[in-house]
Chain A
């Protein structure tokens, strides 16, 4: 790494640290039905009208089952909504290129992909999607799935932080009677509709509006024009795709969605015009997830715990970035032998304006979070450079992670860490005063087993099937990596790809579209249900004061225990599969073997 790379990395980490607290404090207001923000004068009226239109009472709280059912119903309606738009694309407006409707299985895959915050793209944006499909069918989920993820994280944190008996003050608004104090049993975790609305209105929309305008200032397009035809200096024709891109890209990054407006995603010069736009895009992927760790600390009244979780994420993130950047800068010995300048590193699939370091950094960020936008083609990374993004997804995307999803994923590991620490000292494990018992540990393990089984199961099936092998762009171990990457990305709801894999073949074979769609559904909803059950189960527990035997969930010991658990589980689950793909490939490259 050059000195300037270290400087950029330091700048990134410094700014991320600086925005964590202010964003966390803002999130506390946003995720409180009665919270106050400086945007209240502008947004409160819309919020009130929204509750009226939805027919809900914002003060009414739901238990975990009601909350989960609301999420599932909302997601199902969302899938149908987008599926319908994509199937009717040819008769809907804003289609200046006259693009046809999507096939049923591609529409299914895409609708599921965006509803689950995955944004895996089986299609090439500019050649498949009309402006209406992009702007309504897809952007809707960029907001909705991000807000849903944040809502779930908030519900889980409420479950952890609330005590069994809650004192609520009830004032009868019309008269001036003294307020009645009501003590009641409560195992509620919030109101999904309120969380959804407030997150969208107070957090995502204002940030996106500012961000989108900034992106346009850097050169990102935002228009409804049909494609422009240019005559190049050498006299040939160049058709330049256009569209309302900036408004979609802002939420694509901030909401860790990652679905590109164009096929090449953030590598496309329109979709990421300058190193500055690249830097701010990278920061925006991590912004909310980082702020949520501060929110956690504040809500459980143990700020050091919030920072300890954040520190564990950062240690994993910095290490992963350095490994990826090292191997990309070292380059490919096979190509260097042909006569490429060795100091240039591996430039296949990378843009000159970002260079090696910003490409490696982006790749690590986008897979540490569940974003999946790419500014370089991971498929063309060196073997170990490509292993890093793959492994980041297989850890469960808990290194900052998707908005909300990263925090609730990491809290599963926190519960396991506390459980294992409890076993070591021979005491009933406690997490912030709540006893961790068989039910909680079972639910935590369930989410991890679902992730592993889905990734490895589908990968194994595709690896031995004709339909699985037909989609490959590379042979040998790299071909296997393409399959493993696809199912890791889908199950972890990431959406990036070893993009050589053709999931939507011209032959119309629907296997990939359907299996990847199922992997995304499992990875999202079979994860959400146990996590919401965990929230409900914790919410119903009494808090006991800490004793001398309580394992502290802050400080360096806890941070390193947590890192150890994350790495141990990730490695145990996925090292054998990684050995068949990138690790074997690494040795092939060093020996100059070609396939």
Chain B
């Protein structure tokens, strides 16, 4: 038989199975067994409004929030336009950007001008949507956040620990602090404080 005719038939048959049956079956199972994950691990606030995804970073600039890494996705944390900076090791542009970010990081967090700055705090991630910062980075920011929120250093430290992802199976990957869940947890602490009048608090 003419191989072109066979090719056309093979294309149609294989497409029906690999592009029709296969993804539909996977979607069916995924949506019924792992509905949350399959839909993007979305987070909602108390009113049911979607505030983001556990897996995706978002921009934070206010003093009372932990700040994420710099992002090259769109104008920063654009989850419809993932991207890294793609600037190389000898790039003047990257050099200048890092230099500015280091200065800004030290100022924002009231650090000594010679304090080494964690690499992740001043470099853009590959996706531009990295949800994590390093533990060291979070610790350097915690004094600022604690002060802005009137919390003790210990309270903030506990929240950091609670939002820290440990290596999978104990060894795979590096630990990281999820900025969005950490900031959400901070907001919830604040609310408890507002709801409970100081006089009724336990000593």
Contacts and interface: CB of A to CB of B under 8 A. Distances in A.
Pair from one complex = yes
Interface of A: 4, 7-8, 11, 46, 50, 53-56, 66, 69-70, 73-74, 76-78, 81, 124, 126-127, 135-136, 139-140, 142-144, 193, 196-197, 200-201, 205, 208-209, 212-213, 216-225, 227-234, 236, 238-242, 244, 246-248, 250-251, 262-264, 267-270, 273-276, 278-279, 331-332, 334-335, 338-342, 344-355, 358-359, 374-377, 379-383, 386, 473-478, 481, 498-500, 585, 588-589, 593-595
B47 to A, nearest CB: 10
Nearest to A355: B174
Most buried by A among B23, B88, B131: B88
A353 B51 CA distance: 22
A258 to B, nearest CB: 15
Contacts, number: 399
Contacts of B116: 339-342
B188 to A, nearest CB: 11
A143 B40 contact: no
B102 to A, nearest CB: 5
A54 B6 contact: yes
Nearest to A275: B173
B72 to A, nearest CB: 9
B172 A56 contact: no
Given A218-B37, A221-B40, A353-B174, A143 B168 contact: no
B61 interface: yes
Interface in B32-70: 33-34, 37-42, 49-62, 65, 69
A127 B81 contact: yes
Nearest to A74: B7
Contact of A225 (B39, B127, B133): B39
Contact of B81 (A213, A218, A232, A263): A263
Interface in B123-177: 123-134, 136, 165, 167-169, 171-174, 176
Contacts of B180: 233
Given A74-B3, A244-B27, A246-B26, A351 B55 contact: no
Contacts of B102: 338-340
Interface string B66-95: 000100010001111111111111111011
A233 B58 contact: yes
A478 B23 contact: no
A264 B80 contact: no
A247 B117 contact: no
29 contacts: A8-B171, A143-B18, A212-B26, A213-B33, A213-B34, A216-B37, A216-B38, A223-B38, A233-B60, A234-B60, A240-B52, A240-B53, A244-B26, A244-B27, A262-B127, A264-B127, A269-B57, A278-B172, A339-B102, A348-B87, A350-B125, A353-B132, A354-B174, A474-B86, A475-B92, A476-B90, A478-B88, A478-B90, A585-B88
B201 interface: no
Contact of A594 (B41, B51, B90): B90
B34 A216 contact: yes
Given A222-B31, A352-B134, A595 B126 contact: no
Nearest to B183: A233
B64 to A, nearest CB: 10
Contacts of A476: 90
A374 B98 CA distance: 23
Interface string B95-119: 1001100100010000000111111
A345 B120 CA distance: 10
Contacts of A70: 3, 6-7
A238 B79 contact: yes
Nearest to B56: A269
Nearest to A236: B59
A340 B99 CA distance: 9
A593 B86 contact: no
A330 to B, nearest CB: 11
Nearest to A260: B82
B60 A228 contact: no
Contacts of A239: 78-80
Nearest to B77: A238
Given A77-B4, A240-B53, A263-B81, A352 B176 contact: yes
A355 to B, nearest CB: 3
B133 A144 contact: no
Which of A269, A276, A335 gathers most chain B CB within 10 Å? A269
A344 B118 contact: yes
Nearest to B129: A269
B133 A264 contact: no
A171 B141 CA distance: 79
Contacts of B114: 339
B26 A126 contact: no
